[in-house]
Amino acid sequence: MKIYSGPLSMFGAKAEIALHEKGIPFELEMVPFEMKTLYEPKHPEVLRVNPKRQVPVLIDGDLEIFDSTQIFEYLESLKRDPALWPSEPKARARARLLEHKSDEVYFPHIVRLMSDPKAPGAHDAAARFYEEMERTLGTAEWLAGPYTYADIAFYMAQLFGDRMGAPIPVSHAKVHAWRDRMSARPAVQKVAGAMGRYLLSIGRKLPPFMAKLGLPA
Ligand SMILES: N[C@@H](CCC(=O)N[C@@H](CS)C(=O)NCC(=O)O)C(=O)O
């Protein structure tokens, strides 16, 4: 199995973390990426497989798919254990919705902050999402019952939220404790740690919470 990702691809990192959590061996190819030119020129395999011209792309023999959430679904049906979706139908639907909201409701505001640090409404929208996650956690360890793809998705998305000036408020103690639990997972340390080392190598500062990944703050 081969994954095409980018050194700063939060969507690629989602797929990589899931592969490590499942214990599925894979080859990782980082496509060309630079802060100035971003993903241009696009990797030929990405162009061939994904009409959206984006990473991550996964190739497993004659299967060629793209999109981190599609990759999650393939991994879950390929290797059930450890399960990364809850088994009960409503719990599973809620977990899937949360994974979707993290990518498609929260993260687009963070993307807007990448080009405009004062993007109207973006900070407020991020703050509302953090409040929702604080409420969602309640007394639980993970966002959607057991540890799931929803945790992986929001961990990677909030990493970029923090980098883009929309950190989780200190008052949200439950989300902070959840993030520490996430940062302690070997799969997360491996993937988010590599992203942190890449950021340091290009002279970028890391959000302080990334020190929990064994990186300098
Ligand atoms: N919904 C897609 C989003 C993928 C995506 O936005 N990938 C970014 C990198 S994180 C990309 O390849 N951007 C280059 C572009 O859009 O031209 C997923 O979940 O995989």
Q: Is the pLDDT of residue 217 over 80?
A: no
Residues 99 and 71 in one domain: no
Q: Is the pLDDT of residue 36 over 70?
A: yes
Average pLDDT over the chain, rounded to an integer? 97
Q: Is the pLDDT of residue 215 over 90?
A: no
Question: Which residue from 91, 191, 192 is spatially nearest to 142, judged by alpha carbons?
Answer: 91
Banded model confidence at residue 183, pLDDT cuts 50, 70, 90: very high
Using the mean position of ligand 1's atoms as its centre, give its distance from the Cα of residue 211 in Å: 26
C-alpha distances out from residue 153 to 79, 179, 190, Å: 19, 12, 16
Residues 206 and 107 in one domain: yes
Q: From the centroid of its chain, how far is CA 83?
A: 18
Q: Is 24 helix (H, G, I), strand (E, B) or coil?
A: coil
| pLDDT for position 148 | 98
Question: Does residue 206 lie within any of the structural domains?
Answer: yes
Using the mean position of ligand 1's atoms as its centre, give its distance from the Cα of residue 171 in Å: 32
Number of domains in the chain: 2
Q: How far apart are CA 171 and CA 163, in angstroms?
A: 19
Q: Is the pLDDT of residue 70 over 80?
A: yes
C-alpha distances out from residue 56 to 26, 105, 197, Å: 13, 20, 20
User: Which atom of ligand 1 lies nearest, measured to the CA of 66?
Assistant: 20
Q: Is the pLDDT of residue 156 over 80?
A: yes
Domain boundary at 50, 78, 106, which? 78
Question: Does residue 73 lie within any of the structural domains?
Answer: yes
